[in-house]
Chain A
């Protein structure tokens, strides 16, 4: 077996030192009835064989690059510079553990410190942590954190929050208090302010929301703060922060975002990277790891994991979260991509995304009976079609267009969503993709 360095001579010598005659003897604590079960699994296989077997699975999917691609709703297809993927495969990044021994982990720790600074800057918040699993679990952690900060336990969720996020919050925070979700209102602000009462710890809103709409959250922040509640802002498209007013400038107290758009592939949904930022005074209620700056005994700057007494390995049942493994390597990809972009690149990228989406939206609404349901948007918008969107998407998939995500897939129990189609455009869409989409959609609807 190519991954196992020991040979039978080694094993014999080692067994001799241990004083047993076989490896099986080392398993004598296993109850007799559970020893040596049968496994209905194949024997080992060579690299080329495994690659061939896995290729078969891969080839049975339609890759986004094979068609005109417009899916978003929480995951976005962006171009990732080749150097990002090269750098994250450096052995010393890829095959290291959590940086518990800072003297020999400065590479990971410094990149995390840089990551935290970047995340704080793009969200316009004071501090950020070293990553969560993804946006959805980060949003749930934000609710739990708001409970701790306010001493209250009722969370009000916007109906325009991605339903998977709302469901994740229900799962992870539902045991800690009440969760209220308002009905979705595509294209405009939902009536969330009215739901805030004196036991509300936070309101959770997404911007751009699941339909792609952008809005000014400052008035909502004002209402929330006047009732002692926090504003939790979620985003799923990090590139929007290069163009759209950031959460910190609209009164956000905690921000939980999905960072997949920068540095990370679609990956059929994971692994992704949760961005998590907040006000500095809440830092001891934050979940997850934090890298902090300090100095070594010779006075040289260095970085360590800090404020660990919040975390499960020290605080156990009183920890701020049970999170241990996070999304370190995805955070690394994010920070490298953002370092390459810089401020100038991020702004240009965001403008290009918006421009593509505007072009697409304008060419699609020129089709009879197709309406734009979301007048204000970044790179994603919702169309109202004259017939159920799911059928249209299925038909277009057969014609080389992955046309977006039908709202009915995300909101199966809400009537009124059947004809809504959530469409995203990014810098990866060529003009010809947009033309193909317009022609095919026009053709399908004309029939």
Chain B
């Protein structure tokens, strides 16, 4: 413990560009807090009070905990320097397909920190939180209106948690009618969360194939349907960036077979303000507030995944239920009070991701119905612009226009030794965050580009010019610039094999 910063060695690194410090101008090598901090230092001033043993029942913690502290200036510098090693939407184009990396308005950050939202406890008396409940109800109204669905469960904490909520509701509905159906159909191109969710709910997963044009094959779907099928989980627009033209026919076929239609709403950004999934026969759909409605991704979360339900599934929505009567808003937290509804249970402690709700509602109110429609239009326009500007040099697996994501494959790299991964790493050197690579799994060497509506034409044109340059260089016969990339990032390629073979998951003295 208390290993201090290694002093600068006094030896300039032998490699070109080496420095005595190991730093490079604005790019710093930052040690771990365990190498820099000390257990006797604290950056928070707290009075040291005496306590008696009376109420501790002899359970006092003994021995060193093993966590160092940093003074406030040291802490600020540590984390600011670490932040500078990250790519972010705020610093550059981030066309990560499937992830909807759009601009995060700072208004959301401001309003979410209002004391009336941030400094409110979930179990305060309900009459002291009428504003918070009203806000949840208002967001619920927007979500129901935008999706054309009659009910919404607000508590799921992320997209995959929303999927779980939807599939459990489907299971509850089937049980309610005494129907045991063991199978859920999932297209091969689906997000991994879909089969993982189905499995978590005790269903077996049956894969269904796509047509040559990248959409669900209605014939194979119909063939796969039986009294054993509980539901289909389908992303629309799908993971290849295409609208499932046969949505209504798919829904009809499912319903005729007694199955439910779960729609993965991960790509709702393409159609918000333009299409209501309820009009397409969907029974349940989660909405990733952190994608479509722009709550920041925060390096992996938090998100929120409210689930909208059709009339058929609405009675099974989880607790708590939010109702309004003449005394105001009220949470129903006990299933006995929920009748005639029969909620399947509870998704998580408390009432949902309030911090995300406030940000999402700020985003929706800012755009309004006209702005949301323009945003989805611009997102689709930008993706098609990239597709149209690159498809003569970078192979695209499917013909025609796309929705909000442009999908390419690695056919154009055939005969070179360059892979999709190499292209991604080279993009890092060009100052762009790479697109999503190797997803969907159905397309070889997939590159999924999602520009969102947040990029100027100038940025799109620069990206297009860079991609055209890379495509030309790739087939020129010299792969070096791809194979070595990245060379300008804080780190070169990292040895993921070593990391997985001998996992080092925590610092040890």
Contacts and interface: CB of A to CB of B under 8 A. Distances in A.
Contacts of A291: 505
Most buried by B among A131, A265, A324: A324
Contacts of A73: 123
A128 interface: yes
Contacts of B199: 317-319, 322
Interface in B182-229: 191-193, 195-202, 204-205
B322 interface: no
Nearest to B111: A54
Nearest to A110: B82
Given A53-B365, A293-B499, A322 B164 contact: yes
A304 interface: yes
Contacts of A313: 191-193, 439
Contacts of A51: 107, 110-111
Contact of A64 (B72, B119, B455, B505): B119
Contact of B345 (A50, A167, A375): A167
A150 interface: no
B131 A295 contact: no
Contacts of B195: 312, 316-317
B382 interface: yes
A218 to B, nearest CB: 10
Nearest to B350: A269
A75 B145 CA distance: 32
Nearest to A314: B192
A176 interface: yes
B495 A41 contact: no
A216 B59 CA distance: 7
Interface in B108-145: 109-111, 113-125, 127-132, 134-135, 138, 142, 145
Contact of A215 (B59, B122, B134, B505): B59
B162 to A, nearest CB: 10
Contacts of A130: 300
Chain A: number of interface residues, binned into ranges:
35 or more
B67 interface: yes
Contacts of A354: 51, 55-56
Contacts of A100: 96
A446 interface: no
A97 B66 contact: no
Contact of A328 (B122, B159, B302, B434): B302
Interface string A335-350: 0101111111111110
B456 A302 contact: no
A39 B498 contact: no
Given A6-B453, A317-B196, A175 B171 contact: yes
A269 B322 CA distance: 15
A98 interface: yes
B46 A296 contact: no
B148 interface: yes
A134 B157 contact: yes
B371 interface: yes
B377 A23 contact: yes
B66 A270 contact: no
Interface in A404-431: 405, 409-410, 412-413, 427
Interface in B356-384: 356, 358, 361-362, 364-371, 374-375, 377-378, 380-382, 384
B16 interface: no
B67 A343 contact: yes
Contact of A96 (B55, B157, B299, B384): B299
B69 interface: yes
A228 interface: no
Nearest to A140: B348
Contact of B350 (A74, A88, A120, A307): A74
Interface residues of B, number: 208
A127 B116 contact: no
B296 A243 contact: no
B76 A93 contact: no
Nearest to B78: A339
| Residue among A51, A65, A113, A340 with max Cβ neighbours from chain B (10 Å) | A340
Given A164-B349, A167-B346, A270-B157, A294 B300 contact: no
B341 interface: no
B8 interface: no
Interface stretch (A9-17, A194-202, A437-445): A9-17
A290 B505 contact: yes
Interface in A65-118: 65-66, 69, 71, 73-75, 77, 81, 83, 85-108, 110-114, 116-118
A402 B128 contact: yes
B237 to A, nearest CB: 9
A409 B333 CA distance: 8
A131 B303 CA distance: 13
A317 B185 CA distance: 12
Contact of A352 (B46, B83, B171): B46
A261 interface: no
B41 A326 contact: no
B507 A117 contact: yes
Nearest to B137: A57
A439 B42 CA distance: 36
Contact of B54 (A137, A144, A358): A358
A130 B248 CA distance: 41
B491 A103 contact: yes
Contact of A296 (B134, B142, B403, B491): B491
B33 A114 contact: yes
Interface in A291-330: 291-298, 300, 302-304, 306-309, 311-319, 321-330
A62 B117 CA distance: 9
A140 B504 CA distance: 26
B506 A120 contact: yes
Contacts of A342: 37-43, 67-70
Contacts of A223: none
Contacts of B80: 87, 90
Nearest to B101: A97
Contacts of B351: 268-270
A361 B55 contact: yes
B268 interface: no
Nearest to B280: A34
Contact of A311 (B58, B192, B505): B192
A243 B60 contact: yes
B116 A375 contact: no
A331 to B, nearest CB: 8
A41 B121 contact: no
Interface in B492-509: 492-496, 498-500, 503-507
Nearest to B116: A58
B117 A47 contact: no
A266 to B, nearest CB: 5
Given A17-B385, A44-B368, A54 B64 contact: no
A103 B486 contact: yes
B442 to A, nearest CB: 13
B367 A3 contact: yes
Interface string A239-276: 00111111001000000001000000111111101000
Contacts of B333: 409, 412
B414 interface: no
B383 to A, nearest CB: 9
Given A4-B374, A42-B365, 20 more contacts: A4-B453, A6-B457, A65-B115, A87-B76, A94-B88, A97-B94, A101-B428, A104-B428, A113-B32, A128-B506, A131-B300, A268-B351, A297-B492, A314-B192, A329-B299, A342-B43, A345-B42, A348-B48, A354-B51, A376-B56
29 contacts: A17-B385, A26-B377, A28-B401, A41-B146, A42-B368, A57-B116, A57-B134, A57-B135, A57-B138, A61-B117, A61-B128, A61-B132, A75-B121, A92-B87, A101-B428, A105-B299, A110-B85, A214-B56, A214-B59, A216-B58, A269-B350, A269-B351, A270-B351, A332-B299, A340-B42, A340-B43, A342-B41, A344-B69, A345-B44
List 8 tightest A-B contacts by C-beta distance, closest first.
A342-B69, A58-B116, A329-B298, A60-B131, A269-B350, A328-B300, A269-B122, A91-B90
